[in-house]
Chain A
Amino acid sequence: MADKDAKVGYLVTERLVKRFDEALAVDEVSLTVGKGEIFALLGSSGCGKSTLLRMLAGFEKPSSGRILLGGQDVASLPPYDRPINMMFQSYALFPHLDTWENVAFGLKREGLPKNEIKQRVGEMLDLVQLGPYAKRKPHQLSGGQQQRVALARSLAKRPRLLLLDEPLGALDKKLREQTQFELVNIIEKVGVTCVMVTHDQEEAMTMANRIAVMSKGRVLQVGTPEEVYEHPASRFVADFIGNVNMFEGRLSVDEPDRCAATTGIGDIQVGHGVSGTLNMPLAIAVRPEKIEISKQRPAVDRNVFAGKVKEIAYFGSYNTYIVVASDGSRVRITEANTSRQDLSDITWEDKVFFWWDDRAGIVLRD
């Protein structure tokens, strides 16, 4: 686990637990988030990420554990006394108030003088480029504009921690990509520490500095997007983030700088050592884009396997092949379409070879 970005723990959760009746929603989660970091909680629905976020906001009371923000335990504070603001999923804008009043709502509760409220709201509306829409009610705004009002409202009080609940979930795909970058730019401009919840791995990868992958109330792995993608710590994480081919087998060679496993499709060589005992069960994970495919036998001798093409899917920028290997397992291979003419001569039912570099395989024991 690489916590080098978070040497200074600004937000720290200590063995945080939330129990609903008998069900454990959040199970001893200990996280450290650095100041100014964008931290994503990633998981499928029901994994406990939203409950964790709601505990940070103060809407749920932890069953046990501590939440430290800048060294202060905030777990016992009600939501309206926490220096934490949240951008809600589907925004929860006040429908009876216009854009300006929505953004000013939190500032008015602080009892700031009128001039200062006016100035701060103006700054916020400029920041999200909604100045001309100050007098509009939420229903008169488009989805993207509503999202920016929600962002401005949650930033207006200058919170020490910003929470984003599925920040792009309510937008359509095209708008989402554009908004992703805008959102990160604004958050970085303000410099606020940010914890976001998402079920969309792409969203987490592009926006967050670090990601915590959650399942069944537990944090399985914390790391940068690259770390969790290239070095997943478990079968679940490898499978959850991106696509992966998993070859189950047993450890057959264990040397300091290499190892090998006997699997259904044959012996797989891996270019690093593992700490384990011979013959122990493990899985070798290989990403589809790291596998090469050709009708001709390649000039390498390791990790080369033969199979038959079962399916081909054309995605424009890349092709995906499903190849059935000798033992009947289906292997997913993606190939970038780098040139326009050569759409490769591989078609259905062709006999092909596929292979990968021995640094591409990831040994997974959990």
Chain B
Amino acid sequence: MALSAFPAPGKRFVIGVPYLWLIVFFFLPFLILLYISFVDMGNDINPFKPIWDSQTGLLKLKYENYGSIFRSGEGGALFQTLYVEAYLRSLWYALCTALLCLAIGYPFAYFIARSPASLRPGLLMMVMLPFWTSFLLRVYAWKGILADQGVLNRALMFLGLTAEPIQMLYTDVSMLVGMTYVYLPFMVLPLYANLVKMDFRLLEAAHDLGASPFKAFWLVTVPLSRAGIIAGFMLVFIPCVGEFVIPSLLGGPENVMIGRVVWDEMFTSNNWPRATALAVLMIALIVVPLAIYYHYTGDAKERAEPGKLGAKP
């Protein structure tokens, strides 16, 4: 680009500050995590040992921290551990949450984008309104709704739809409800930003050419909002994989997700090396979908700059 050939004096500084911030508060802590994940477990005072042997002074990497995640004991079967289960469960719940958010958020975003321009700021404000109250408070409120003696069960019993309270709290249902509820705005906002830019005359063109409203939606609106769908999906999926608070408050004992496992290793077993190894692996698990995300947004950028794709005839 022409700009970077002559950088303004302040430009490096402006770019440098956030990079410095990320290096100090993200990259260096990550290196520390990585370091701890390769050393031996310590005692109550020093939770991990130094990486070199105090007698021989040699470097001593403990790969077993990672190995034990995939294999229990020496001869144990591969991938049949509590940890792998927790990983898979986390990915599964994150996927379910992202799909639920997409199913609820898409029509939401679509109708905000299609409402009169004067109404849109108000409607968007209402999407963001929940952020104004404490996150914990909102998750706790679901306890009151879903508990055996909660609002929902009482209403159902009052209406005679059920004689006994239905167990909703501490199940995967309550957990998914909570996660979907909390993460919905992260799906709606990128979808809205995408859909509001769409030229709705394209739908008229599709109708004109014989597409029913549903067909036009499926063949025109959905493909054109692909970038928004992917962005929203990733914004929900990635934090959900490591979600800790919602599963601990709303989930049951059989819904243990990886965030909870890391917590237990860290504070119950006091096994810092394994806890950090689990965390490092989780980051790796998330980097893959992130890479996919950037691949597709890179695509979208190329589409926005048609000049790069080849000369016009």
Contact = CB atoms under 8 A, between A and B. Distances in A.
Interface string A87-107: 010001111100000000110
Contact of B209 (A59, A142, A153): A153
- What is the interface of chain A mostly: helix, strand, loop, or mixed? mixed
A63 to B, nearest CB: 20
Interface in A61-97: 78-81, 84-86, 88, 92-96
Contacts of A157: 209-210
Nearest to A153: B209
A80 B208 contact: yes
Interface size, A (range): 20 to 34
- What is the interface of chain B mostly: helix, strand, loop, or mixed? helix
B164 interface: no
Interface string B197-223: 001011011111111100100011001
A80 B224 CA distance: 21
B309 interface: yes
A92 B201 contact: yes
A94 B211 CA distance: 13
Nearest to A141: B312
B313 interface: yes
A102 to B, nearest CB: 9
Contact of A92 (B199, B212, B309, B313): B199
Given A140-B306, A140-B309, A140-B310, A94 B210 contact: no
Given A133-B313, A140-B312, A142-B313, A59 B204 contact: yes
Contacts of A323: none
Given A80-B212, A109-B210, A109-B211, A94 B205 contact: yes
A113 to B, nearest CB: 16
B223 A79 contact: no
Contact of A94 (B212, B220, B312): B220
B60 interface: no
B303 interface: yes
A137 B205 CA distance: 17
Contacts of B210: 80-81, 106, 109-110, 157
B270 to A, nearest CB: 54
A57 interface: yes
A80 B204 CA distance: 9
A139 B201 contact: no
25 contacts: A57-B208, A80-B207, A80-B208, A80-B211, A85-B208, A85-B209, A88-B201, A88-B205, A88-B208, A92-B199, A92-B202, A92-B204, A92-B205, A94-B202, A94-B205, A94-B220, A95-B224, A95-B303, A96-B223, A105-B209, A109-B210, A109-B211, A109-B215, A141-B312, A154-B208
Interface of A: 57-59, 78-81, 84-86, 88, 92-96, 105-106, 109-110, 133, 137, 139-142, 145, 153-154, 157
Interface of B: 199, 201-202, 204-212, 215, 219-220, 223-224, 303, 306, 309-310, 312-313
The 9 closest A-B pairs by CB, nearest first: A106-B209, A109-B210, A139-B306, A92-B205, A79-B207, A92-B201, A96-B223, A80-B207, A80-B210
